Amino acid sequence: MEVIDSKIVSIGTWFLAEKAALLSAEGYPLEDIKRLLLETVPKIDLITFLPSLNNLIKGGRVPALKGMIGNLLNIKPIIGFIDGQIRELSKTRTISKAKQELVSRFTGIKEEVVKLAILHTNNEEGARELQMDLASYYPGTIPVYEAGPVLGVHAGSGAVGIALLKK
């Protein structure tokens, strides 16, 4: 048994677990599986929008005053999990524009993507809308999943995002 730092949460870890299971079933030795998984870690991206700043304020990631002003201005941050850290990638003012931003970020790298999934925190309707928006750009099935607790704590209810594995 080996422990691997995935530097990602939610569906991103599933991508690694699925790959590990496939490699094991194909008879790869443990050291090769570990090496291949570590090579895969930087190829996984998770990008999501937050419907409000409330959970970032509660978690201390955003100062209370800045968060309150952001909520008043209806700011919807787009965040990504990069090298094990949460990073703000951009901001929008509406959920519709936030979804457009996710589609735009995907279409900018779609040729590199080998696996795509949509995740949400108690917002299956929003996730299904994003699934339909992305379907014309991605040839495969795009599964929709409820996000795990780590993302749920940071994002709060209503978030929608994409997890992708690049070549």
Q: What is the DSSP string of the chain?
A: ------S--THHHHHHHHHHHHHHHTT--HHHHHHHHHHHGGGEEEEEE-S-SHHHHHTTSS-HHHHHHHHHTT-EEEEEEETTEEEEEEEESSHHHHHHHHHHHHHTTGGGEEEEEEEESS-HHHHHHHHHHHHTT-SS---EEE--HHHHHHH-TT-EEEEEEE-
Does residue 6 lie within any of the structural domains?
A: no
Q: Are residues 52 and 38 part of one domain?
A: no
Q: Are residues 18 and 82 part of one domain?
A: no
The average pLDDT across 92-98 equals: 94
The average pLDDT across 145-158 equals: 82
Q: Are residues 124 and 82 part of one domain?
A: yes
Does residue 1 lie within any of the structural domains?
A: no
Q: Are residues 80 and 36 part of one domain?
A: no
Q: Please report the pLDDT score of residue 10 as a whole number.
A: 80
Q: Are residues 22 and 75 part of one domain?
A: no
Q: Are residues 126 and 71 part of one domain?
A: yes
**pLDDT of residue 150 exceeding 80:** no
Q: Are residues 104 and 82 part of one domain?
A: yes
Q: Please report the pLDDT score of residue 81 as a whole number.
A: 84
Q: Are residues 63 and 143 part of one domain?
A: yes
User: Which residue range(s) make up the domain with 126?
Assistant: 43-166
Q: Are residues 134 and 62 part of one domain?
A: yes
What total of structural domains would you count in the chain? 2
Q: Please report the pLDDT score of residue 109 as a whole number.
A: 92
Name which residue leads in pLDDT, 100 or 11. 100
Q: Are residues 139 and 119 part of one domain?
A: yes
Q: Are residues 38 and 63 part of one domain?
A: no
